[in-house]
Amino acid sequence: MATAKAAKKGARRAPARKQQAFDAIIVGAGFSGLYQLHCLRDRLDLSAVVLEAGDGVGGTWYWNLYPGARCDSESHSYCFTFDDKLLSEWQWSERYPGHAEVRRYLDHVADRFDLKRSIRFGTRVTGATYDEAANRWQVTTEGGDKLTAKFLITAVGCLSTANVPAIPGLHSFKGRWVHTGQWPHEGVDFTGKRVGQIGTGSTGIQSAPVIAETAKHLTVFQRTANYSVPARNAPLTPEFRHYLRENYPELVRIMRKTPNGHPFVIERRLVADVTPVERQAIYEAAWEKGGLQFRATFHDLLLDKAANDTAAEFIKNKIRTIVKDKATAEKLADIDHPYAAKRPPIDTDYFEAFNRDNVTLVDVRADPIEAITPGGLRTRSGKEYPLDIIVFATGFDAMTGPLLALNIRGREGLALADAWKAGPRNYLGLQVAGFPNLFTITGPGSPSVLCNMPVAIEQHVEWITDCIAEMRAKRLQRIETTDAAMDGWVQEVNRAANATLLPQAHHSWYLGANVPGKPRVFMPYAGGMARYRDLCAGIAARGYEGFVLS
């Protein structure tokens, strides 16, 4: 009896050893990681684990809790489509899902497929090294865990490494500062505070109107003026829900067939096909409808500068109409790039917010931010802005940042950071030569951020799953792309980008231009999701052309 008791006590003291060797390690528990886990564990019956830095599922949505955070894909398309039951049982409440609802959805998915038992939360990956002799990846974590797996699959998203600009004096600031991409889960109380927001991208455009509702004063520091179209968010009506139930198969078909993965079709007509009066009516209708569909009004908006100018001018005029103060309106409408060449935001009362007495716009292109001071912020002209809270809506080290943060080393210790010194080089956005059995879901060079993300993610995850299944069926141990395949793909990525106006936004994060010192390379694949899907399918059908399997 005594011995049994002691044994029990001892068992309690020594924690059960966690499994450390797997067929696959997946990094990240957002959309990609959850689905990849389900595919490998439940469809292929592999041993798989997800390592997730956050304490819950959600990926980018676990961290981006800033005021107003909401998706710009419509809710009925911002979800998984692989399971009909899941699709029909989940009910979204609004046209666009807010951050909390996306987390609830992903939590539901994780519970429904019993995924959480295979996820290690609060586990940040600090390194991943390929052991050539063993043909296994060795993964280390911040907590000191060492795990190994044959396959390493990154599901870290494209926009998860917060970019806090190195403005001198930040450490001296006596108030509080926060980055929107690392928002505190307990929230931030702006009541009675003087708030400064740096950044007017999709995030800043969403957060400013909401912060202004409670702040004593909000100063928005704008470096590059931005287009935005009203989102027109609203609760989903019973009629729309009925429409969805009746039409989901068709909507899913459209999402998989359109270049951007959204449930609407891009018009075939060109701007020049209609008269100026007709064009104005088309833009007006799209403005009233709201959302990213504005971009789909004409086929050539992203292909022809003259066509684009008509949309740009329409939006600039809207800004001038909405914003009452003429000088502020001109600063907001002084946009230097083609419409949608940077990711086009959609908003709820962004421009309207500048009509409030407690909101001011400061043009920091004309008068750049020089320093953060103990009491606020100073611009080059010497003007001081006293602040209690600074909100950095300054974006992300996009696409490559989350991958490089994992400190990945391939054959002969080659660091991914060195392999990508001059910018990301890979094949299909999925694999890098010298890094066998590593798959990067929505990596640079894939459509990812130019597509409705869940659509891009499902395609990548299913392609990777099929590839691993085929390797297993043929008893193959290793898959690795080649330098030649990467060269060809980099050419294709550049060709696709250069066929559009996208590279004309010189300061865009698509080009890495928002992070000082980052190589200027157009990162996402602009050839369209449908074309990309066909390319990937063809490559697999031809025996994984461009990969060496052994």
Residues that bind ligand N01 (CB under 6 A): 70-72, 159, 165, 198-204, 206, 221, 223-224, 343, 364, 369, 393-396, 449, 507, 509, 514
To ligand N01, the closest distance from the beta carbon of 41 in angstroms equals 29
Nearer to ligand N01, 75 or 224 (CB): 224
Please, which residue, 383 or 411, has the CB nearer to ligand N01?
Answer: 383
Minimum CB separation from ligand N01 for residue 277, in Å?
Answer: 32
**Tokens standing for residue 28:** 């990240």
Question: Closer CB to ligand N01, residue 109 or residue 369?
Answer: 369
Residue matched to tokens 């429904």: 112
* Nearer residue to ligand N01 within complex by CB, 198 or 353: 198
The least CB distance from residue 129 to ligand N01, in Å, is 31
**Min. distance of Cβ 492 from ligand N01 in angstroms?**
22
For residue 472, give the amino acid letter: R
Give me the amino acid identity at 275. T
Nearest to 455 by CA among 293, 254, 245, 255: 255
Residue among 402 and 410 whose Cβ is closer to ligand N01: 402
Tokens of 280: 């104005």
Output 147 or 364, the one with its CB closest to ligand N01.
364
3-state secondary structure of 153: strand
Closest approach of ligand N01 to the CB of residue 164, in Å: 9
Residue 504 C-beta: closest distance to ligand N01, Å: 14
What span, in angstroms and rounded, lies between the C-alpha atoms of 272 and 290? 23
Distance CA 324, CA 315 (A): 15
The interaxial angle of helices 529-541 and 453-473, nearest 10 deg, is: 0
Closest approach of ligand N01 to the CB of residue 243, in Å: 23
Q: What is the DSSP letter of 364?
A: T
Tell me the C-alpha distance between 400 and 449, whole Å.
12
Q: Give 178 or 476: the residue with its C-beta nearer to ligand N01.
A: 178
One-letter amino acid identity for 60?
Answer: T
Closest CA to 102 of 62, 159, 139, 138: 62
Query: What's the closest the beta carbon of residue 329 comes to ligand N01, in angstroms?
Result: 18
Query: From the CB of 42, what's the least distance to ligand N01, in Å?
Result: 29
Closest CB to ligand N01 among residues 147, 340: 340
What residue is closest to ligand N01 based on CB? 201
Burial profile 190-206: b = 16 or more Cβ within 10 angstroms, e = fewer: beebbbbbbbbbbbbbb
Helix (H) or strand (E) holding 107: helix 99-112
Q: Which is nearer to ligand N01, 433 or 449 (CB)?
A: 449
CA angle 518/519/520 to nearest 5° reads 110
Q: Choose between 458 and 480: whose C-beta lies nearer to ligand N01.
A: 458
Rg of the chain's alpha carbons, rounded to an integer?
24
**Neighbouring C-beta atoms of residue 372, cutoff 10 Å:** 23
Cβ distance 452 to 266 under 8 Å? no
The C-alpha atoms of residue 143 and residue 152 are separated, in whole angstroms, by: 19
Give the C-alpha separation, 112 to 93, whole Å.
19
Nearer to ligand N01, 431 or 514 (CB): 514
Q: Quick one: the chain helix, strand, coil %, rounded to 5?
A: 40, 20, 45
How, if at all, do strands 176-179 and 146-154 pair?
Answer: unpaired
CB of 83 to ligand N01, least distance (A): 24
CA atoms within 13 A on the CB side of 502: 24
Smallest gap from Cβ 396 to ligand N01, in A, equals 6
Tokens in use for 178? Answer: 């926060």
> Which of these, 204, 168, 196, 207, lies nearest to 376 by C-alpha position?
196
Inter-residue contact 507 to 446 (CB < 8 Å): no
Nearest CB to ligand N01, comparing residues 437 and 452: 452
Shortest distance, position 383 Cβ to ligand N01, whole Å: 15
